[in-house]
Amino acid sequence: MTAAKSAEVRRILHRYLVEVVEEYDLCPWAKSSRLAGEVAIEIVWGTPSLDAWTFAARAALDLPSTRVAMIVAPQLAISRDAFRAIRDAVAAAVPTAGVAHFHPDAALDLATPSRLVPFLRRAPDPLLQLVPLALLDDVRGAPSIADLAQQAQILTGQAAPPREDVATRIARVNHATVAANAEDITRVLDDIAADRAASYARHGMQ
């Protein structure tokens, strides 16, 4: 594929990362990782095979500066459920990284923080995000566990409750953020989707 087409895929993804993920602070490390050049982006064209996904993932993760790898499939027509199966297969093939799947079709569901996740991952194109497990372990850490004496102090207000797991805290904060800004976030996502459709049509990518 031409450099112009690749540039458009990256431009559209950049809009999602900056105007949604960073603007609403949905990932505390997104902006710093991008500005530090630690986000590696690979594009897989057409309907990629598992080998193509795996090759691109490993190539991105092998770069010395990579903290986050994003593998984008701009021409892939696939349901979210079917894409989850690809995520599972890539995760099995690349066991050194945590793998998350992002998909453009996801309705807003604010019932619980976990049910909101697909909407937060409403990227303009199907993409897999990979983060080395070593980095995930460093970020997550181990949540503190209160013993019986500490639990008694917590219940009587003499001690603070144990700190939340990082992932749980981020999910809780994101839920509150989206609940307060759902209309604006949806408007931005819709605008990016429209930009993508027009741009890809001009470049013959659909």
Share the mean pLDDT of the chain: 88
- What is the rounded CA–CA span in Å between residue 203 and residue 175? 36
Q: What is the pLDDT of residues 39-78, one digit of tens each?
A: 999 999 999 999 999 999 999 999 888 999 999 999 999 9
**Rounded (10°) CA dihedral 81, 82, 83, 84:** 50
> How big is the chain by its Cα radius of gyration, in Å?
19
Which of 56-60, 88-92, 114-118, 145-149 shows the lowest per-residue confidence on average (mean pLDDT)? 145-149
pLDDT higher at 50 or 150: 50
Which of 95-109, 128-142, 144-158 shows the lowest per-residue confidence on average (mean pLDDT)? 144-158
- What is the rounded CA–CA span in Å between residue 44 and residue 46? 7
pLDDT at 164: 58
pLDDT at 1: 63
- What is the rounded CA–CA span in Å between residue 21 and residue 120? 8
Query: Which residue is it, tokens 């970020």?
Result: 139
Q: CA 141 → CA 8, 47, 173, distances in Å? A: 37, 37, 18
